[in-house]
Structure 1
């Protein structure tokens, strides 16, 4: 069982889902609907089946855009699990050894791990062991990661650093160093598959700002956009969904956008990657995009106070710690941060599949 609810989780689990399909190993995808917009389209674009189980009725699903929505959403998922526990348990235990797979550090990660344990199955955590070192930052991701480490029994850690974190915390079960994040396999699957869906300048910077902690901090969000507008040496392209656009309007920042700082429609992952591939540099608050830039060697400013992923920081990646002067310095010197791509250096999904075979969860070789 794959439990996922965000497009990022779908993307990073997609190489594993594809490998399971290719090996003839059945799996189901259970959807928490943490994200609604784009999730179905992302699965279609990745050539993967739609969810088998919805914790929330598809007719009443709505995306989580405010933290105040989270408690009610979690209660609805808990109620669905309790109400259908016998059927879910039968499904989970029907074909050999049961396993529930979760990814990352979202509320869905925690709920998926709790559901797996409640239904009597071991939990595998992909992207395990990542730590910022500060329980309050990023909030709630750092707490989510530590909770899931207590619940999981298979821990797939991206690097030796994350393995060491789990060893220090005395995580129970099998800890596996996959060498890199599965984002590298997702990138390899999709990069360059399509032409960009929008017209792009010959040279441009790519901007994504969408995290809860960014959008709810009006002063930091507004200052970030103003620094980008004033200091970028290249035209900027900023894909934005409805939530980000509403925030721009609420804060009276619409006048910042023009032909040189373009606000464009948010794109599904396979259509976003060709934009990333052509960007000269990136400014983002996204942990996933941070990892992808690290893999590609793309210069990127990580507009966050702290990060749980340390690969590439100090090399092609600059952690701004929300300091506007650090962001200005990156924009002035972005070319100094170019690094070679490591896209072909690691194959973490192969490592995960090998471990699942060794543990008896997968019987056939991947074709």
Structure 2
């Protein structure tokens, strides 16, 4: 069972679902919490993924405690009905945390995709840092996107055998979507520098986001830029951003873009300003410098590699750093040419290959055995040849690469 509810989860779990669909020994059951329902439904269709159930738990301006209670109850019901062998969650959303918790209550092993990200501050980002640490105490498989993330898990006492460095599935999906060629970029103008801005983080909402809107407006005031802002559906985000940006001729405000259009827009921009985790991973794959509008990031690999800079939320600092990259071609090119540390586009195959290997080899200590697969005479020699992180295939042979 694959549990998701937000647009980023759909993006990062779609390659995993497609890899399961391609395997003769896996049957994915996709369950949506509907946490981002309006954005999620068209997203899943564009990604070739069908949700088997939609829990419909969202309420307007809900508190996290209410959402958590409704999610655990609804997920408990669907898990009891479907009795999956494994529950897969991704990242650090409330949906992911509740999916892991509900599976644990039913003693069903949990696989955590994008495991091991840490800032060390439970309130930044909030509640994501708490969620991913809780999932880390529950999960059986920990699929870390980078070696730094894997090291965090091992340092927390997770057995090394349960931690696999796979790369990030967002890179798998980005390459897949661009190959489809179905998206249209959303900038209005030509001949101007194109800045893509995405803002939604809970800790930035309110005065911090209003300040960032002021910095964005100053960039648009330059006259040589077009700022594109796909506006998050959160009422609080809209209340923070719209008063300072609506009506400016240099600012294009759009409703959230579908994923095909977003990837095409990302490919067409010159600079990205974002507080999104996923965009920090996607943009470097396309050679787009990223300014991270947060006080902390759980993706320091991007900072270390030189593909992103952590500039915080001070409007003057944001404006100054963005102006530097717009005006200094050498500074821009240094970031655009740096190597993306987040993967090679093969993460989903590694994830599914490792799970198949473990589930169909129940002799390994503390490894769950899938009942139907373990009892139907399937031999390891019949498994699909997914590559796993230790350089072997699921059939035990050495991978050519």
If the length of structure 1 is used for normalisation, what is the TM-score? 0.87
SS at match of 2:22: helix
* 8 Å CA contact 2:218, 2:319 repeated in 1: no
Conserved? CA contact 1:296–1:340, under 8 Å: no
Q: Does 2:63 correspond to 1:69?
A: yes
* Aligned residue number for residue 147 of structure 1: 134
Residues 285 and 303 of structure 1 are in contact (CA less than 8 Å); yes or no, is this contact kept in structure 2? yes
Distance 1:327 1:20, change over 3 A: same
Structure ranking higher on relative contact order (CA contacts 8 Å, 6+ apart):
1
Match of 2:249 among 246, 259, 267: 259
Pick closer, same or farther for the CA change 1:170–1:267 going to 2, 3 Å.
same
- Work out the CA distance in 2 between the residues paired with 1:197 and 1:254: 21
2:264 pairs with one of 274, 291, 312:
274
1:249 CA drift (Å): 7.3
Match of 1:18 in 2: 18
Give the secondary-structure state (helix, strand or coil) at the position aligned to 2:243.
Answer: coil
List aligned pairs for 1:282-361, cutoff 5 A. 282-314=272-304, 315-334=306-325, 335=329, 336=331, 337-340=335-338, 342=340, 345-360=344-359
Q: How has the CA–CA distance of structure 1 residues 249 and 165 changed in structure 2, closer, same or farther, with 3 Å as cutoff?
A: closer
SS in 2 for 1:313: helix
Q: Secondary structure at the match of 1:275?
A: helix
Of structures 1 and 2, the larger Rg is shown by 2
Structure 1 residue 223 and structure 2 residue 211: aligned?
yes
Deviation of 1:319 (Å):
0.6
Aligned-CA RMSD value: 2.5
How big is the shift at 1:197? 5.4
Superposed displacement of residue 118, structure 1: 1.5
Q: Which runs of 5+ in 2 are unaligned?
A: 361-372, 374-381, 387-401
Partner of 1:209: 199
Q: Does the CA-based 8 Å contact 2:188-2:252 persist in structure 1? A: no
Report whether the alignment pairs 1:161 with 2:159: no
Does residue 102 of structure 1 match 2:89? yes
* 1:365 and 2:384 are equivalent in the alignment: yes
What TM-score, normalized by structure 2, do the two folds share? 0.80
Aligned length: 349
Partner of 1:235: helix, strand, or coil? strand
Instruction: Indicate conservation of the 8 Å contact 2:209/2:241, yes or no.
Output: no
- In structure 2, the CA distance between the partners of 1:130 and 1:250, relative to structure 1 (3 Å rule), is closer
Q: Secondary structure at the match of 1:204?
A: strand
CA distance in 1, matches of 2:187, 2:282: 22
SS at match of 1:114: helix
CA contact (8 A) 1:291 1:311 kept: no
Between the aligned partners of 1:63 and 1:330, the Cα distance in structure 2 is 39
Q: Is the Cα contact below 8 Å between 1:102 and 1:125 reproduced in 2?
A: yes
**Aligned partner of 1:243 among 225, 234, 239:** 234
